[in-house]
Each structure stands twice: as C-alpha cells, then as structure tokens.
Structure 1
Amino acid sequence: MTTAGTESRPVDPVDLLRRRDIGYMHLGPGQRLIALSPDKSRAAFLMHRADPSTNCYCVALMVLDLGGAAPPRILDQGDDLLMEAVTMRGMEVEYGLPRPLLPSWSPDGKRVAYLRKADGLAQIAEVTLADGNSRQLSHSPVGVEQFAWDAAGTGFVYRDRPARLAARAAIRQEGDKGYLVDDRILPYAGTTPAIRAPLPQELHHITGDGAFTELVTANDRACLDAARANERAASGAPQLMPSGWTLAKTQAVPGSYSSPTYMVATRPDGRKLPCDDPACRGSLFADIEGAWESDRPGEFIYLKRDGWGASQYGLYLWKAGQAPRRLLLTDDLLLGCESLGARLLCAREQALRPRHLVTIELRHGAHVEELFDPNADYLALAQPHVERLRWRNAHGQESFGDLILPARPVPGRKLPLVVVQYVSRGFLRGGTGDEYPIPAFVQNGFAVLSFHKPSPLFAVEGNDGTLASILPRLNEDWADRRNIHSSLMAGLDLVLARGDIDAQRIGISGVSDGSTTVQFGLINSPGLFRAASIGSCCVDPTAMMIYGGSGLARERTAWGYPPVFGPGSQKWQPLALAHNPSSLMAPLLMQLADSEFIVAMETLAAYEKAGRPIEARIFPQEHHLKAQPRHRLDLYCRNLRWFGFWLDQPIASGTCRADIEDYVRWTDMKAHAAKSD
C-alpha cells in the first residue's frame, strides 16, 4: 500500500504483461471458468502468468475455500499454456488462442482433474487434495480434446482424434509428388496443405487404477457428452437442475441465426413456464450469457447484456410464472459465474482492475463480496482516470467507449489521443489482441479512447435471419465498415468537444477487425489521424481474394466482397489503402505474425512506392493473436515509442527504454516524407 508522503509508482508495460489471469483474457460469452466441488464449499480454477524472461507462462491449478477458512492454494503447476486450433472454412487453423480449460472434481470431492500440457500436448492430470500428489493419466499421441469422470466416478473417459497422425502422414506423402493446390492451401500461412476438419473422434477409458482400455460404456459416453454440454452456462441446451426443474434458452424463431431468445422453465411434472417478459429476452447482440437455479426450486438467476448499447450487464432473479426482477445493473464485466444457492460466484473485471473473484448476494440488495484477488499489488500502482462515454452514431445506433485520462493532467496543456479497439468491457489492458498498453499510454501523458465496435443491428433487419442473408448486408457498399466508422467519428467528436484533447495529435490502433477500422478511418477521414499502428493487415483485394487461398476467396465472394480484377474491382477503394492517394497514408506501424505477413504486402508495397512512412515487423512462430511473452512486451513498447514519436509525446517507461535505432530510422522516414509532400 502507498504510505503517507509517498507517491504510487506508475503502471509499467511489464506490470500489465505479468498480471495473474484467471482464465484467458478474452473469454467467450457464457464460457465456464470455475469448477465447484460437489458440496459447493470450494472452487477450482486455472490461473496463468506470462514470464518474458523464459518466454513461457506459469500455469497454476488453484483451489479456493469459499468459506474463507483457508487461503487460496496452488494445487498443481505447469510451465506453458495449451493452445488450440480453430476450424475455419473446413480446415484446422492455428489462431493463437489459448484453450479455455475447466477443471473437474471427482464425485467424492477428494481429487481434481484438468488438462495439463505435457510434451506439447494436452493430457489428463489428476491431483489429490489431501497430499497434493499429481499424476498424468492419459498419453494421447495427439492430445486429449475432451474428458470427464467415468460413470463410476473413479476413472476417466476422454476423446481425441488420432486420425490427425494419419492426416499428417498423408500430407507428407503427397509432398513427394507435389501438393495439389486446392482449398487446403492457405498461402498466407505457408505452402503445406491444412488438415480438413472435422477429423473422426475416438473414445478411450482410463480405469480408477490407471489402466487404459478401449471399452467405453453408454453411461461413460453420456458423462462425456454432459461435460461438453456443460462448458457454457447458457448454451441453449436444457439444463436439468438438482431440484428436478429444467431451464432452457429457447429461440423465438427456431433455426434463425438472429432469432431473439427467451427463458423457458419446465417443472418436474413436465409443465412448461416460458418467461414472456421483455427482460427475459435476449438477442443476437445482447444475449442471455448464463442462467442458474437459486436455493429455491423454480427460481432462477440469469445474466444478460443490458443497458445502453448492451454496454452493461444485468443480473436478474426470475421465479417461474412471475415477472423477473433485476438485482444489478453494472458497467463491470461479470463472467464464469456459478450458483452457490443464495449467492452467485463470479469472476469480475473493472475498467482499472484485473479479473478477481466475488460473490453476489441474491437476497440482500445484490451485495458484492470480494473473495480472491490475485492482483492485489496492481491496486497500489498509480491509476488513471476513466469515464464511460455514451453516444449515438449517424444512424441513431447506441454506441459507447471509455475515455482514459491522466489522473493529474497539466492544466492548460492539451493531450495527444490514441484510439484503442474494439471491445471496451472489463479491464482496460491492451485492446483486442492486447498490443496497446492503455494504462502505460496514459501514464506517459496520452489520453486513450477505448472504442467499442457497435453491433451490426441493421444487417439482421428485414431478412430471414440466416447468415447467408446477413453477411452480404454487412458488405454491401461496406455498410458495416461505414456503421463502425460513424460510431467512431461521433465518439471522437464527443471527446474533442471537451477541449482538453489536441485534435492535431490523434493516433489510431487495432488488431484483426480493429485493423480494418484503422484502414477505413485513414481513407474516409483524411488527415484526422496523424499516425496509426496495426497488429494484422489488411482487408485488401490481394489479401482476401488471392493470398487467402481459394477457400477464403469463395467465402468472401459469397459475403459480397468485390472482385480483385475487372468490373466491380473499383469498389475496394473505400477500404483498401493501396487503391488511394498517398496523401491518405498516415505513418503506419505493422507488427505482424509470420503466419500472416504475406497479406500485408499490397499495403506495404503501396506505402513504399509512395515514399510514405511505414515500418513492418515480423514476429516468428506467431499467429493471428500473438502469445509469446517476449513478443507481447516488445509489441507494447514499440507501440508506445511509435505513437510517442509521431504524436510528439515523450515516453518515460522503465521497461520500454528508448531505442536509438528506431529513433534514427523514424526520423529519416519523417524527413523523407516531408520532402515528398
């Protein structure tokens, strides 16, 4: 704690990198995070921390006594994150995503099992609470995909995909005669064909004494299926409660991707009680993200996106057959919640506070009690000032973001501003992709607008609700990009109207979809942004329709993208920097994964031809979301220095020391660009 007469030290980029994360920072809606013991007296969860000195992550299996009788306990440890491939266009693709992992308690509450990384693969590890003894039980040659305790409650049933080995062997053999160029070839990622998905699954059984067998009973299979259905708190599948009641999130228009949803409770006698109240309804962009039974049969708690532009979370109590009652409306991010009967256990994030565990009382005014904060030391650091902003775009759509300002700005001195995107919920760390250290920018004298991308509400109106109808609407004359840009411009107008922001020193940043917002902003608001930085690049004709491969080209054509050549190709102009005058090309930093670098070439070549300031960096063995701790720290630091240089703001960070080579190179860029203007 800070003592009288002392100043809290500022937040350094390494402070952000070294936060202890309960689960992955970008957890999906409804994704479960915490495993309760059978008697609900303890909670198990996984926590990790980046270590740039080793370029690895420390992973810990934690157990927390919910009654507070014992301090949090590290039950087991690992030395790196488990990553998972995603399926895109029918192919297995590495994306840079850590696997969301949920521990599992034995039925007797004496052991906890989880997936631990061993020789690069996910294997089942079991830990005994009494003595902390840990043992690896599975030895899958391709890694365990899903596991559960068996029907007897003493062993495990799991699924994996050994066919992956045969698929890899077949690709190697195909290489002897040359790879056939088809939709398996993703040129931006390399020349080796991707593996088609899904591969067939195989089920295996590990008995209580650790013996391996292929004998999997129907009851064992049911345990595994139940574990999969239980991964999300409101998946839509009916949830059977201990009281015998069933709760389901149901589509108002079955089969429609954009259908509203509502809650339906079913009594033990089979009678259905739907909730027709508007507060019980979710939507595609403001859905119900979790639902649980309270300590009273037939009474349920549910959590949904709520408030202005779905910027908040509403916690509701619903007695089946009655109107729901809202207990809580908060700007905080609540996730991974579990029912403790009369309380709800949740992970919570606040704008200036990393994830921590709390309980919310259901009977006493939604009182919030803190249980465990793995980052209590972070609260002792000097914190900036944050304001939640709300506005409407030109189409009347509700939009929001957060303005983060120095706690003690210099009176009369206007601040440079950096836009960070594109989700502004929870802890304001580094934006989507976590490459832009918001608190460190502010500690160095910047203001930051953390901009939340508006949902494409217009695209689901007046059609049949299928993706085939929605996606072309998004890209018709780049309607979604224009909607996002309109919200961003209205937000910037609101910020600039304050009078404390320097309109001549605005930068913009983004990763993934945020990168596309950067492109569109540079082209459609000429001269507004003095510098830009992107962590992926770019939605260009060659990137989408050539370097992405034939599968991506067919997909984007179906989405309404223009052709790369010939009639209609001029429609790329509002989005592709390479198809615009060099005067729109603000100084641009591109920090790219090696698996995606090639799709940046059209923009890079256009900048170089025009003599405009550009710097591209390639980070080896990375994917769309960069994960290596050393790379993440370097991304933080270079982004600080880049915007410091181009927005004329000195950077004083203990970790991010001045780089004389960067300074000389960027000074030469600036001088060359000045001669060309």
Structure 2
Amino acid sequence: MSWLDRLAARTAGRVRACRGHLGGIGERHGRRVLMLALAMFVAMPVSAQVISPRRLLEVTDLGNPVISPDGAYVAFRTEKASLARNTYDTAWYVQRLDATAPPLRIADGGAPLREYVSGLVLPSPAEWSPDGHWLYYRARLNGRVAVWRAAADGSGAQEITSDAADVRDFVLGERGLTLTYSVGATRSEVLAAEEQDYNQGVHIDESVVLAAGLFRSSKIDGRAATQQFLGDWFSTGPLLAKAPDRWKVVDLQTGIAKDLPKADKPPHPLTAADLPADLPAARKIAQTPHDSRIAVLLPGKHKAKGQLLSLYVDLAVLPNRHSSHPVFCTGEPCHEKHIGDIQWRPGSDEVLFTVTDYDKGRAQSIYGWNVRTGVVRPIVMAEGLFSGSQRYWDIPCAVSTASLVCVAAAADHPPRLEVVDLRSTRRRILFAPNRRLDLDMAATAPAELIRWKDEQGREFTGQLFQARASDARHPPPLFVTFYTCDGFLRGGLGDEWPLATLAEQGISALCINAIPEFRIDFVARHDQGRAAVESVVKRLAAKGRIDGSRVGMGGLSYGSEVTLWTLAHSDVVTAASVSSISPTPTYYLLNSLRPAFRSNLRKLWQLGAPAETPAQWRKISPVYHLDRLRAPILFQMPEQEYRMALDYALPLIRRHKADAYVFPDEAHIKFQPRHKLAVYERNVDWFRFWLQGYEDPAPAKADQYRVWREMKRADSTPQADARAADGS
C-alpha cells in the first residue's frame, strides 16, 4: 500500500467516523471531504516529505579517521551543511574504540578545504602526538589555513602555525617536540598579484581560465579569488599556486618558528618515479614504516583493444625501492579484481587491500595478504562503501595492529563509523549520526540492487529506488542518472537528483553504474549509456514496474554528456536535466591555448580544432544535434562552465526546448548548501511536471512553471517542428 493509499484509508475512516456526529452527510459529501483532504495533503510543501531534499542535504558526512598510538581511541571529522550560513560546519571528535562512551567533540574543523576545479571536499589527514594527548590537523579558520592542535580530552584547541602564507602540508616530529610545515606564496603576495593583473591588464596565455571571469571570479579557500590553470587538464588554483614549497619548523614548546634549510626538508612520499624504470608505473605505493618493504599496485598485464588502461591491477610486494622483482599476490581475491586501497597492518607482514566488486554494484571488501606465507584472508564483506571517507571512496580506513576504523555507507544507508577487530573480523558501529534518516529510508525509500544486460550482452548494475505506485494499472514513471553509484546515494554523482525524494513522490529513481572499462573511442564510450538506459527501461516496463513512456534522465560530467547523447540517439527519454558541459566549438576555443587540453581532447574525444576534424565534431557535439534533442532539458550549470555550453543551450532556449539556471561561484560539482538545495528542489519540480503533470502551488515557484507551461504549449503546437527546422 502506497503512502497515498494509506492516507486515503485513514482519511476515509475519519470521514466514516464523523458521519454519526454530522447526522449522515451522505456518500457524495463524504467523497468531497475525502478529496479535499487529499488535495490539501498533496499541496503541502516539500518539507512535509519524509525524505525531503533538505534532509538529504543535511546528512552528516564522516571521514579522515586516525587511530591513537595506544590503539584505544579514534579521531575523526564530521561535516554538515548549514543553510543558515550557506557553508559547512566541520568538527573533530575523539571516541574510544570499545564504544564505552559517546564521541567527544574536541575542536572546530573550520570551513572545509576544496579542490578548486571539482568543488569536492579535500581529505583532511590528522596526526596524533606520540603520547596521545594531542591531535594535529590543518584547518581554515580566521581567514587563513594553519595547523591546529586539539587536546584529546576536549579541554581546548590552539593554532600552532601563525604564518603569512597558508599551510600546504605538515609533518609531526617523531618525538612530538617539533612540527615541520610547508607554505607557498604569502596571502598578501597573492592579493598583490591579483591587483597587478587588475591594474596592468590580464595577459592572456595558457594559464588564464577564459571561461570564468578574469578578476576574483571564483571562491578559493573561502574568498573571492582569481584562479589559473595549473597545467593538467582542468586542474586550477589561485595565482602563485606554482610557487615552490618553503619549509619551516616550529618548536612546540616555545612556539618559535624558523625557516628550514633545504637539506633538512622532509623526504617526499615514494612515487612511481622512485622505483626502478623497468617496472610498470605503479598506481599506488605503500611502504612499511619499520623496514624497506613496499606494497605496490601494478597495471594488469592484459589491456583490451580500445581501452585506455588495463581493467585490473596486480598486487605485489618489493623488498626495497631498488628491486625490480616483485612478488605477486596469487590468492583468488587478488586475481583480476578492482583493487584500490593498500596499506600495511602495523607490526605485521600483512597488507590490507580493498576490492571493489562491480558485479555487486561497486560494493567493497577488505582482505589481508600475508606476504610471507602468501595466505589471503577476508576481513570485511560490505554491501556498499567501506572506506575512510564517504566523499572520497578511495581513502583507506584507519588501521592499527588490532583494529580498522572505516566509514560504512550504502545506497540507502547514510554514513556511519564502524570498527573492525582484525583478529576476529567482528564489526561494530561506533557512531551513527544519521540513524533516524537510515530508519526512514528503510521504511520509505529503500534501494534495490538490480542487474541487466543490453542487446550486446554487456552487464550493468544499478540502485533502484522503487516508487510506491498507488494504482497497479498505471505504473510509475522512471528517472535515471548515469555514471557511478558509490556509497550513500543522495543524488547520484554530483548530488543533484534526490533519488529517494523522487521515489517518495511517485517517480522510481535509478542510479546506473557505467561499465568499468574506459573506452578511448568517444562513440563507444557514450553509447554504452544509451544502451544501458534503453535496455533497463525495456526490462522494467516489461515487468510492469515502470511506465516506459515516461522516463527522465540526468547526469553530471560524463553523465551529462551521456544524457545529451542518449537524447540525440534515442527516443527513450521524455525529459532531461544536465549540469555539465559537452564539447562545443566555444569549449574548444576558450581552452585551445593549453597543450594539455588539446592533447587530451584528441586522445579521448578524437577531436582537433573544429576546422581540422569537422566530421568528428558533427558526430559528437550537441551543437550539431539540435533537431534531435526533442525532449525538454533543464540546465543547472556552474558559473565556471556554463559559457562553454551556450552554443547549444541558447538555441534550445529560443526553441522553447530548454530552461537554464546558472549558479555563481560554483565549480564542476556545486557545493554551496543553498545552491544544492535549490538544484535538488528544482529537479524534483521539473520531473514531477514533465512525468506526472504536477505543479507545486507554492507562489514562489509560479515563474518557473510559467516558463515550463510555455515550453509544453510550444511543443504541442503544429508550428513546433517548423521552428526547430528554421532555428527560430
């Protein structure tokens, strides 16, 4: 029975109960009362939902666990959106691993540091003092990034580095008496460089982000700042970001800091370049802290034709950094598996490694490989993510001799902190800040892992939030988002389409995992998404689970490209919502000064300049597919990218085929809480409008519905095709 059925039954029961008191109001009047009650309920604001967009936005995220030297405590950081201040609150906690006491909040973690181009929160590694009394961490507070330390007993926190430049990295001395840290250009030097550009004019070269504003057009570390390309694809940062590291050391007893001679700077972590040249380039490296052994992930020996990389990696160990003779793990969990994290269990011969199982919807498992005996044992078999962070699925869990501490999250289970006994492999929940939401998800919008094959026999997986159809004769519409479905699925990759909310509102929602192989050929890579959507719609419709004539689709990044590709090459999608760009001539023009961009575009998209490869441009760019894009499209774009999509977005808006919103100061993945909530709610409104014919009566939304009704009217008129043909 759906929520609407339950409501109707309760309301009808109350109507019947009232009849005796009202002298028998009659069946007709009873029905009127019932329908009025239902109408009033349906018209209630989104906040009355059980799984509302705001609840999904305000999930408490967990990450960066680190175990104390004595193995008795774990420190970790929480992160939660604050709509009132349009930011995120972070805090550091300490908790006993035996869970005999709740977590103790020991410090404010400051506003989270972010990747400049993606908008994702950066990991925030922390270090315990050797005596276990202090926790050291990097934080942005009071307008600067510094190293802080907090007392493990919660008695207070203090800033350790008071530097004119923001701290990039730090290392605690072995005895805990000194702290070494690195900085780049000072904050005043960065401001001066920005002012010089403003006064003297910005010199246009390959470092300038031409798609964004030229002066302080992006939020970098909490302030309006000028950004620049750093050379690798779309990697960006502030002006002077390439200034070399300057290392300093602070005496933790006196607080006095001084410059560190170059000869004394800390050794850098091992990289693939430090290993023998005759070894394949290692994808990950983990060195034991007590001897010279090194665990490595090496590229698999077999790479299918047309793939960018080998699908699998090999786990091996080297006796030292100079050896070119790895000893490989031969256990079944090591063979042709997707291995991500690797780390040594302290004081042992065991390497812990994480396997992601794509056949099980990207569920993660952790194994231990004893490099002396060759024995591989299972430690954790999770149903979803089991890592050191919900946001960064490839960050390792915290590890000690006896325990693992990990963030567990699955499609319909928000993040919680768990501890694993490495001897018995028993799991226990340490901290579950989202427990109420977890219970409500299970009762209202549980997820179901589904598998299916397309016409070529390729197998896909996805997480389906099935809507409760109120009438079995009229199955619900379907929304799909394509790319990856890791951890707790608020809104798919990029968190823009609140899947559980859609399901609660009567639209089944499906997150589809892309096939793990990365095809170099653009058409082959993108057409797998179209095939996945067409095949799953056919399958679910045949089972009567969805209405195959009402299908929405959305995506971020590669998912956005696949959404537009599917619209252009299939009629399966009824309405779409995208948040990222696809290749256009303007996209090429604004980035064409950068060799790294041109190289990657040619390799991965098979595109040169538009005049150089015109046939390929006509094949893949939405600019040349306007007449094929017949489904209405909602663009919700970040300010840093939207200009590069105007080649196709503006013509579609003129044709009443699209509506567009641009969010200021946003990167590839939007991060401002108010923007996230607006995107969530508008996507719910959009798909309810096109797939259910529903309009939210809230007065503040009148203008958006006016535009969408005009789009619907234009699409239904005989002149629509003529307008599309002449480009008006």
Shorter-chain TM-score range: 0.7 to 0.9
Is 1:501 aligned to residue 546 of structure 2? Answer: yes
Is 1:84 aligned to residue 128 of structure 2? Answer: no
State the partner residue of 1:385: 446
Q: Which structure's CA Rg is the greater one?
A: 2
Distance 1:587 1:490 in 2: 22
Tell whether the 8 Å contact from 2:106 to 2:154 is kept in structure 1 after alignment: no
State the partner residue of 2:591: 548
Tell whether the 8 Å contact from 1:348 to 1:355 is kept in structure 2 after alignment: yes
Residue by residue over 1:630-668, the C-alpha shift from the partner in whole angstroms, topping out at 9 and shown as x without a partner, is: 111111100100111111254779xx8871121122111
Q: 2:181 aligns with which of 139, 154, 158?
A: 158
Q: 1:314 aligns with which of 334, 355, 365?
A: 365
Structure 2 counterpart SS, 1:95: coil
Deviation at 1:69, TM superposition (A): 2.4
CA separation of 1:121 and 1:632: change in aligned 2, threshold 3 A: same
Q: Percent identity?
A: 25
Letter in 2 for 1:251: L
Distance 2:544 2:133 in 1: 61
Distance 1:165 1:561 in 2: 43
Distance 1:10 1:177 in 2: 55
CA separation of 1:394 and 1:167: change in aligned 2, threshold 3 A: farther
The equivalences for 1:249-268 within 5 A come to: 249-251=296-298, 258=309, 260-264=313-317, 266=319
Letter in 2 for 1:179: V
State the partner residue of 1:324: 376
Is 1:452 aligned to residue 492 of structure 2? Answer: no
Residue by residue over 1:406-435, the C-alpha shift from the partner in whole angstroms, topping out at 9 and shown as x without a partner, is: 357543331111112321122111111111
Letter in 1 for 2:51: V
State the partner residue of 1:565: 610
CA separation of 1:494 and 1:522: change in aligned 2, threshold 3 A: same
Residue by residue over 1:467-503, the C-alpha shift from the partner in whole angstroms, topping out at 9 and shown as x without a partner, is: xxxxxx333xx22112333333333333333212111
Structure 1 counterpart SS, 2:124: coil
Distance 2:450 2:161 in 1: 50
Structure 1 counterpart SS, 2:54: helix
Tell whether the 8 Å contact from 1:263 to 1:280 is kept in structure 2 after alignment: no
Query: Does 561-570 or 497-506 show the bigger shift?
Result: 561-570
Tell whether the 8 Å contact from 1:400 to 1:491 is kept in structure 2 after alignment: no
Structure 2 counterpart SS, 1:144: strand
Letter in 2 for 1:279: P
Structure 1 counterpart SS, 2:692: coil
Q: 2:531 aligns with which of 469, 477, 486?
A: 486
CA separation of 1:361 and 1:391: change in aligned 2, threshold 3 A: farther
Q: Name the TM-score, length of structure 2 as normaliser.
A: 0.78
Residue by residue over 1:159-192, the C-alpha shift from the partner in whole angstroms, topping out at 9 and shown as x without a partner, is: 1211786566456435555433221222212335
CA separation of 1:195 and 1:661: change in aligned 2, threshold 3 A: closer
The equivalences for 1:307-386 within 5 A come to: 308=359, 311-320=362-371, 321-336=373-388, 337-364=397-424, 366-381=425-440, 382-386=443-447
CA separation of 1:194 and 1:42: change in aligned 2, threshold 3 A: same
Residue by residue over 1:488-543, the C-alpha shift from the partner in whole angstroms, topping out at 9 and shown as x without a partner, is: 33333333332121111101011111110111110111x22111111122322322
Q: 1:37 aligns with which of 68, 81, 89?
A: 68
Deviation at 1:152, TM superposition (A): 3.7
Structure 1 counterpart SS, 2:119: strand
Distance 2:72 2:639 in 1: 46
Distance 1:118 1:386 in 2: 39
Tell whether the 8 Å contact from 2:361 to 2:513 is kept in structure 1 after alignment: no
Is 1:637 aligned to residue 681 of structure 2? Answer: yes
Query: Does 258-267 or 582-591 show the bigger shift?
Result: 258-267
Residue by residue over 1:117-148, the C-alpha shift from the partner in whole angstroms, topping out at 9 and shown as x without a partner, is: 12333211111223521111223334111112
Distance 2:420 2:687 in 1: 41
The equivalences for 1:425-440 within 5 A come to: 425-440=486-501
Q: 1:607 aligns with which of 631, 652, 664?
A: 652
State the partner residue of 2:703: 661
State the partner residue of 1:237: 285
Distance 1:38 1:294 in 2: 11
State the partner residue of 1:200: 244
Distance 1:204 1:451 in 2: 48
Tell whether the 8 Å contact from 2:314 to 2:329 is kept in structure 1 after alignment: no
Q: Name the TM-score, length of structure 1 as normaliser.
A: 0.84
Structure 2 counterpart SS, 1:69: coil
Letter in 2 for 1:301: L
Aligned-CA RMSD value? 3.3
Deviation at 1:369, TM superposition (A): 1.6
Is 1:135 aligned to residue 119 of structure 2? Answer: no
CA separation of 1:513 and 1:350: change in aligned 2, threshold 3 A: same
Distance 1:245 1:298 in 2: 12
Distance 1:9 1:528 in 2: 29
Letter in 2 for 1:10: V
Deviation at 1:547, TM superposition (A): 2.8
Letter in 1 for 2:643: I
Distance 1:258 1:554 in 2: 17
State the partner residue of 2:51: 11
Residue by residue over 1:274-333, the C-alpha shift from the partner in whole angstroms, topping out at 9 and shown as x without a partner, is: 3233522466xx2232333277x3234322123527723232233333342334443311
Q: 1:474 aligns with which of 479, 500, 521?
A: 521
Tell whether the 8 Å contact from 1:18 to 1:50 is kept in structure 2 after alignment: yes
State the partner residue of 1:91: none
Distance 1:338 1:311 in 2: 21
Structure 2 counterpart SS, 1:127: strand
Query: Does 409-418 or 193-202 show the bigger shift?
Result: 193-202
Tell whether the 8 Å contact from 2:484 to 2:492 is kept in structure 1 after alignment: yes
Letter in 2 for 1:240: T
Q: 1:576 aligns with which of 615, 618, 621?
A: 621
CA separation of 1:78 and 1:318: change in aligned 2, threshold 3 A: closer
State the partner residue of 1:21: 61
Question: Structure 1: where are the runs of 5+ without partners?
Answer: 24-32, 86-93, 460-472
